[in-house]
């Protein structure tokens, strides 16, 4: 089956300019040669720490920032290339929900108008667009009679995020990218919005790319998970095998850094020391080697490739690649 979204070799470097002639002083390697696929109907979770490139990946998928290299194909059609899907066509198929529910709504528009804005731009008549907005308010659990004419500042964070979800669905997309969409919400509200997302996915046949730093939430909502570190994919595969038996040393460290929920089994030692390095001039070879307990000479020289194993999982680590030159391989 053809994947709904196929990403190949996605790369984005941000030059940092400055100095006398505004020359490039350094380069932020935000996303480097990232490839993955999303099947129709699944939820792909993307996890990683700050600076790992998960949000840049989302913005590249939406073409909110131009990519340097790589291809993105939606339902077999390349995006950006000739005779391919136009940007406008893309945005009918793919929409995004952001973390900051307030900043992503126009403060001067009543929420129903915000929701109807997309359909209007895409050629729907005003009355039809507003009626769709009301239906969507209802779908996200907000009574249209009470909420349609309210402004964003009159709503709570959870209600605003429901509006953002409704707006993302207004063009009837097939894929929704949720970039830390529940991260700013309190736990009891987060659970309500997660339930809503699960309901909507079934009701509208959606596919999700769910980006979060919260490993528990990603485990709960995703079918597959992609772990990123400093702009690279280190491990990708079905969620349960990865959470039960992570193979990449970074995935292992990340999962064991989660606070224990059992008072009798507290974490006695932090699995990693130091902060994630800066994505400006990242380490050569494997980018995790500076914090990895198993790093050897080969890790500094050769960039490990993502190698697929039998259970549908791919890991980028020399230790798991026979003949890589690592003593544990």
187-206: contacts with another protein (CB under 8 A): 187-192, 194-195, 198-199
234-253: contacts with another protein (CB under 8 A): 239-240, 243-244, 253
Radius of gyration of the chain (CA): 21
- Give how far the C-alpha of residue 289 lies from the chain's centroid of Cα atoms, to the nearest Å: 24
Question: Which of 254, 306, 314, 316: binder of another protein (CB under 8 A)?
Answer: 254
Question: Which of 1, 103, 261, 293: binder of another protein (CB under 8 A)?
Answer: 261
150 binds another protein (CB under 8 A): no
Nearest distance, CB of residue 52 and another protein, angstroms: 9
Nearest distance, CB of residue 293 and another protein, angstroms: 13
Using the minimum distance from each CB to another protein, give the nearer residue, 44 or 62: 44
Distance CA 197, CA 71 (A): 28
Of the listed pieces 18-26, 83-91, 162-170, 265-273, which binds another protein according to CB under 8 A?
A: 265-273
Decide: helix, strand or coil at residue 121. Answer: helix
Contact 247, 239 (CB under 8 A): no
100 binds another protein (CB under 8 A): no
**Pairing assessment for the beta strands 175-179 and 207-211 based on DSSP bridges:** parallel
> Which ranges of 98-237 does DSSP label H, i.e. alpha helix?
111-121, 126-139, 144-147, 157-169, 187-204, 215-221
DSSP 74: E
Tokens encoding 272: 């990693």
Question: Which of 118, 119, 152, 158: binder of another protein (CB under 8 A)?
Answer: 158
- Give how far the C-alpha of residue 157 lies from the chain's centroid of Cα atoms, to the nearest Å: 21
Contact 106, 114 (CB under 8 A): yes
SS3 track for 77-110: EEECCCCCECHHHHHHHEEEECCCCCCCCCCCCC
Using the minimum distance from each CB to another protein, give the nearer residue, 30 or 72: 30
Nearest distance, CB of residue 111 and another protein, angstroms: 17
Using the minimum distance from each CB to another protein, give the nearer residue, 79 or 137: 137
153 binds another protein (CB under 8 A): no
Which residues make up the interface to another protein (CB under 8 A)?
49-50, 156, 158, 186-192, 194-195, 198-199, 213, 215-217, 219-222, 239-240, 243-244, 253-276
């Amino acid at each position: 089956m053809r994947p709904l979204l196929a990403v190949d070799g996605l790369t984005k470097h941000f030059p940092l300019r400055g100095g006398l002639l505004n020359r490039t002083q350094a380069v932020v390697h935000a996303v480097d040669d990232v490839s993955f696929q999303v099947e129709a109907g699944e939820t792909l979770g993307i996890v990683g720490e700050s600076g790992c490139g998960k949000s840049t990946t989302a913005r590249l998928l939406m073409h909110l920032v131009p990519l340097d290299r790589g291809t993105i194909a939606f339902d077999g059609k390349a995006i950006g290339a000739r005779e391919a899907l136009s940007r406008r066509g893309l945005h009918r198929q793919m929409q995004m929900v952001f973390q900051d529910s307030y900043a992503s709504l126009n403060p001067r528009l009543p929420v129903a108008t915000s929701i109807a804005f997309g359909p209007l731009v895409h050629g729907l008549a005003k009355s039809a667009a507003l009626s769709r907005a009301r239906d969507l308010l209802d779908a996200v659990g907000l009574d249209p009679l009470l909420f349609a004419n309210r402004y964003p500042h009159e709503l709570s964070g959870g209600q605003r995020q429901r509006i953002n979800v409704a707006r993302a669905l207004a063009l009837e997309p097939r894929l929704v990218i949720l970039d830390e969409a529940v991260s700013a919400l309190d736990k009891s509200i987060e659970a309500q919005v997660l339930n809503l997302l699960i309901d909507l996915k079934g009701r509208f046949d959606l596919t999700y790319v769910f980006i979060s730093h919260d490993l528990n939430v990603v485990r709960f909502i995703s079918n597959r998970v992609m772990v990123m570190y400093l702009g690279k994919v280190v491990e990708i595969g079905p969620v349960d095998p990865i959470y039960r038996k992570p193979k990449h040393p970074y995935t292992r460290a990340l999962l064991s850094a989660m606070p224990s929920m059992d008072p009798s089994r507290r974490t006695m030692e932090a699995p990693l020391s130091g902060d994630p390095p800066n994505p400006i001039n990242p380490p050569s070879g494997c980018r995790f080697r500076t914090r990895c307990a198993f790093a050897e000479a080969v890790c500094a020289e050769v960039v490990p490739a993502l190698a697929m194993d039998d259970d549908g999982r791919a890991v980028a680590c020399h230790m798991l690649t026979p003949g890589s030159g690592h003593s544990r391989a």
